[in-house]
Amino acid sequence: MDSKEKKSKFITKDIFKSSIIQAFKKLNPKYMMKNPVMFVVEIGFVISVLLTAFPNLFGDSGNNLRLYNGIVSVILLITVLFANFAESVAEGRGKAQAQALKKTRKDTTAKLLDNKGTVKVISACDLKKGDIVLVENGDIIPSDGEIIKGVASVDESAITGESAPVIKESGGDFSSVTGGTKVVSDWLKIKITTSSGESFLDKMIALVEGASRQKTPNEIALNTVLVSLTLIFLVVIVTLYPMANYLGVKLPIATLIALTVCLIPTTIGGLLSAIGIAGMDRVTKFNVIAMSGKAVEACGDVDTMILDKTGTITFGNRLAADFIPIEGINRNELIKYAVICSLKDDTPEGKSIVSLGNKLGIKIDENLYKNVQFIEFTAQTRMSGVDLENGITIRKGAFEAIKERVTEFGETVPKEVEHIVNRVAKLGGTPLVVVVDEKIYGVIYLKDTVKPGLVEKFERLREIGIKTVMCTGDNPLTAATIAKEAGIDGFIAECKPEDKINAIKKEQEEGKIVAMTGDGTNDAPALAQADVGLAMNSGTIAAKEAANMVDLDSDPTKILEVVEIGKQLLITRGALTTFSIANDVAKYFAIIPAIFTIAIPKMQILNVMKLSTPNSAILSALIFNAIIIPILIPVAMKGVKYKPMKAEVMLLKNMLIFGLGGIIVPFLGIKIIDLMISPIITILSL
């Protein structure tokens, strides 16, 4: 995961206390029915309690049956409480985060402007969509809105976690503001765009509290599988009773209950909700608001990723990449003059020329050129430069503009210059010709630079089978050059908004899950069409409303990390399900031989763990079944460690680690518990 993901303690003292309280409150049958597997365990607990009070209720008889039933009851109660505790911890982490956000919303006031421009201070909760508010230096922005006037620095750290303020102004991509952020300079007039309770802050609070979290399709499918397995084992246990009677083995009802609880998938049943909530929590900690759990889960199934070029794959500013001298000109001379005429050029292009010159060993002392006359670039001249004190003039600019300037001096332009210019243009770059007085020295090659680290990120996605497609308005040659440099799988050149939608639809028609990033109004239709639409918080309201996820950091490349979070969620769920089912297989072979050994001595050969007695075998398995849930809570909360790889390799790895581990761990755990409790059971039975 990226270093931006905020680190926090797994569980605080307050969360621990509240989770214990919630674990008991969740024992309410109305709540437990939402988790059928654990509801079966709770029913078993109730029956065991009745059997403890009335040992002969169902015709059972025998020495110390009341004590045995009581021990089973206690273990079953602990099992349910551990499962509830796991879910409560996950919810508690989210609620702790929500409290800080609620405080921000509760304490915020707004300076409402009426038609006459008069300021009236009201609570932020009383704002309505369409209201105009004034926010000044030090004020908290009361709700989401669009800037209609003013320019100011806004500290978004309360929402995004980033400390550097962002410049916000009316018009353009940075006119959108989020409630809960703080103005740290100047002032803004903002038009409120959301009603009370519908802002991103409200959505974030609802998200982290889990109030709006609905079960996702995969989670519903897994729940169905778990319920089916539970029903199958219930049928098995019911038929086991008459079979045991036929063999002359008397099975107490408490034993059948214990056997049921051990064999049904209680481990994953107890952790399933915690895994889902924790997955949403990880996305939120990554400063992404997901409008639904389905959006997070869809990230884990993404097959194709559509990305804008400008601002996502490239910086968006054309920066110096090379200096190409014409024949007869020393390259260092070209670099020197290019740097001199860019010393006072504050554009990204000018700064990049100076930076590249320094990297190539040409360092110019700016103090020597304090008094030169800098000529700024204009649309009319299409060039910029300096007039030195010794009368030398240096210019850099478009080929046609420089050609016209040289012609005015009565000189001709070498044919080589035009060849260099055309070569740079075909590569998708921007050629700037450098001329000193009337003599052309060469060409500065500017290009839209690919962001560092993207090649590695795209390679990670390729390893897990995700295809990347770049959308750009550039010509096919330029698009191909950028795509090759960035390591993109494919590209759509000269792309219009409708082309993005068609590309997404084409992939979806082939049964693929598509993700896309965007920030402009023209991206809104494509964001709405994509299965995962990640909009930038700095973008337009239309883009944010169309998407199902919003990145509060406005980092377009974050979709790469969000996909990995979705993958981790699915992998964690799959890994713990594998472990749970493997657990059940191990417990089956641990308990059944021990139960029937008395009636069928030959079954002793299957009692590979050499468990002491049938009762110790059952209680050992039941105790292990309970304690494995809290042991796995950190795995459920933090997620299984994720590394990019192909799906079949990942499946094989998880089957090996969690499947094999799920079989071995119970054998070891049950045997150790059996050795510990056997002496106690022997003493109690005397």
CA proximity to 52, closest of 31, 69, 38, 37: 69
∠ Cα 149 109 141 (to 5°): 40
CA dihedral 512, 517, 519, 525 (to 10 degrees): 0
Q: Helix or strand or coil: residue 138?
A: coil
- What is the CA 97 to chain-centroid distance, rounded? 17
- Catalytic site residue from 131, 202, 281, 308: 308
Q: 381: annotated binding-site residue?
A: yes
DSSP E strand boundaries for 483-631 = 490-492, 514-518, 532-536, 549-551
Distance CA 92, CA 122 (A): 32
Asked if residues 160 and 553 have their Cβ atoms less than 8 Å apart, the reply is yes
Q: 144: annotated binding-site residue?
A: no
Distance CA 93, CA 85 (A): 12
**24-45 in b/e burial notation, b at 16+ Cβ within 10 A?**
eebeeeeebeebbbbbbbbebb
Q: 186: annotated binding-site residue?
A: no
Structure token digits, residue 227: 């319920």
CA proximity to 75, closest of 50, 51, 42, 97: 42
Q: 16: annotated binding-site residue?
A: no
Q: 380: annotated binding-site residue?
A: yes
- What is the CA 503 to chain-centroid distance, rounded? 24
Q: 206: annotated binding-site residue?
A: no
| DSSP H or E segment with residue 413 | none
| DSSP H or E segment with residue 86 | helix 65-107
Distance CA 14, CA 22 (A): 12
Q: 58: annotated binding-site residue?
A: no
Q: 349: annotated binding-site residue?
A: yes
Catalytic residue flag (residue 308): yes
Q: Is 604 exposed, middle or buried (0-12, 13-18, 19+ CB in 10 A)?
A: middle
Q: 577: annotated binding-site residue?
A: no
- Beta-carbon contacts of residue 120 (< 8 Å; ≥ 6 apart): 111, 112, 113, 114
Structure token digits, residue 203: 């959505």
Q: 219: annotated binding-site residue?
A: no
Q: 384: annotated binding-site residue?
A: yes
Q: 503: annotated binding-site residue?
A: no
Q: 373: annotated binding-site residue?
A: no
Query: What residues form the annotated binding site for Mg(2+)?
Result: 519, 523
Query: What residues form the annotated binding site?
Result: 345, 349, 377-384, 396, 519, 523
Query: What residues form the annotated binding site for ATP?
Result: 345, 349, 377-384, 396
**Active-site residues: which are they?**
308
